[in-house]
Amino acid sequence: MRAWFASALTVVAGFPAGAGGVFYNSNQSAEYIRSFDRNSATDNADIVHYNMAGTVALRPGLSFNASSQTILQWATVRTQGNPALGARNYESRNPVWFVPNVYAAYRRDRWAVFTALETIGATATRRWPDGLPNLDLAGKQAAGYGGRNSQTIGQDAYAAVLGAGGSPAQAQAAGAAAGLDASYFPSSSNLKGASCFLAWRLGAARRISPRWSLALAGRLVYARQDITGGGYGACTYNQYGHDLRAPGQVAVDVSSRALGGSLELGVDCFPADGVVLALGYEMATGLDFRTAVRNGGNGGGRFVDGQRAHLDLPQVWRFGVGWQTGPRTRVSLGLNAYLEHSARMGMLDNADDRIVARRDYRDSYEEAAALEFRPGGPWLLSVGVNVTQIGQRRSATLDTSLPGAHADYLSLGTGFQYQASERLRLNAGLSATGFMHSYRNADVVGDQALQARFAAQGAAISPDKAYEKRYLILAVGVDYHLPR
């Protein structure tokens, strides 16, 4: 039964709130939320993130861009066909009120220099006040379910049937049923995960000819993850001279931190008036996390104080094409590739969970399209769509880790820009993100192990879990320009 629960409580909060890979948030500005494609943009200073080679096309002088996002998020894990837990919904609904990003770029002649402070990576917070299925199972197991206490209960039931004159076959059936019965093992759980990836970016771009520009930047990333909670159980059995009443728990209270750096390259081509082709490459950012266990919360031995393991930000390729089709209309397409399969992610490896990150995490991709329209006056309206294919394999999906990370996402965004003055632009965006298709999964830690235990006693069950996630994001921002 030990393998029944060996929690992979890692990056429980890390998940694309708008779009991006498993460990990367693409939503880095209000302009992005209203359009979902900025890879070929050359208008506002948020392109320091999306198209840094395009900063040579900004207005001469200093451009400053700041935005914040409010993220409303809903997640549900529903158990199905699970006699140990029953049919139950586990829900997370906590909002994230403030996610800031700040950019600045200075352009002079053919040169541009820029900097940024961003909340990239898996920056998020997730609370499960009523816990998760595998944590509830862990609480029951800590109280003896599936172990010595279940064996004693089964033996008592076997003896009681024989003592009442039942046949050996009847006694054996009663003993098996009692040993599988979870009603004597009430449990509860809760979990809170928070992750923060702060990045400082500094770089420069140069227009090397009327048609081409190049950019180079360095990036420093500070990452922190905190996980608290656990599963708590008890045994209420007190019969036939066996008093098994005792509590049990699997507590988690850990913090992990890392610091890393990397380089980024960008190239833009301007083949015709109003047309931009953009290509960007971000090198992998090595993040060697050191784990600190607090208050003895080691997750039943899952976490080791002082242990180090990598969970790198992956390489990223960005491509974009934008076309100003007329004085009022611009269309653009974008493609991002997150090379997670080649990143070092040993922090996610776990033999008990049968998870090998190099095998179970493949590359993720996203495709986007945007339309911007100027109806007249100071207004610019935009709509956009993004489709994200997540590279995590279903076999690596656990409800205590990255539930739904192998699902595909659809994101829709809309919003506006208002030119308040020659120097000031105001942006607002609203987007919705969710699974393209609902899905179910029978994970190794809970469902498959529970099914095997029941099968060993001659009982056939088919437990699994249904997952659902939705996000609603409201973003507001300003872009301010000081001319030379």
Beta bridge partner(s), residue 79: 465
Residue 406 CA to residue 7 CA, distance in Å, equals: 19
Residue 369: pLDDT over 90: yes
H/E run at residue 205: strand 187-209
Amino acid at 135: L
Please give the full DSSP string across 210-260, using - where no structure is assigned.
TTEEEEEEEEEEEEEEEEEEEEEEEE--EETTEE--EEEEEEEEEEEEEEE
Residue 128 CA to residue 90 CA, distance in Å, equals: 7
User: 0.85 exceeded by the pTM?
Assistant: yes
Can you tell me the mean pLDDT for 198-225? Answer: 96
Nearest to 476 by CA among 30, 96, 72, 45: 30
Among 50-54, 83-87, 309-313, the range of highest mean pLDDT: 50-54
Nearest to 416 by CA among 471, 375, 367: 375
Confidence class of residue 6 from pLDDT cuts 50, 70 and 90? very low
Report the CATH fold assignment for 2-145+182-483: Porin (2.40.160)
Nearest to 27 by CA among 119, 125, 115: 119
Within 8 A by CB and 6+ apart from 294, the residues are 253, 254, 255
Can you tell me the mean pLDDT for 282-290? Answer: 95
Number of Cβ atoms within 10 Å of the Cβ of 320: 25
Nearest to 223 by CA among 274, 177, 260: 260
Q: Which of 149-158, 160-169, 271-280, 344-353 has the lowest mean pLDDT?
A: 344-353
> What Rg value do the Cα atoms of the chain yield, rounded?
27
* 441 or 118, higher pLDDT: 118
Q: pLDDT tens-digit profile of 7-46?
A: 445 545 445 555 666 667 888 999 999 999 999 999 999 9
Is there a contact between 37 and 320 (Cβ–Cβ < 8 Å)?
yes
Residue 233: pLDDT over 60: yes
- The dihedral built from the CA positions of residue 307, 309, 311 and 315, taken in this order, carries a sign that is positive
Confidence class of residue 290 from pLDDT cuts 50, 70 and 90? very high
Residue 10 CA to residue 193 CA, distance in Å, equals: 9
Can you tell me the mean pLDDT for 452-461? Answer: 90
Within 8 A by CB and 6+ apart from 124, the residues are 13, 14, 15, 17, 25, 71, 73, 96, 194, 195
Nearest to 196 by CA among 434, 25, 425: 25
- The average confidence (pLDDT) of the chain is 90
pLDDT of residue 405: 58
pLDDT of residue 386: 95
pLDDT of residue 402: 58
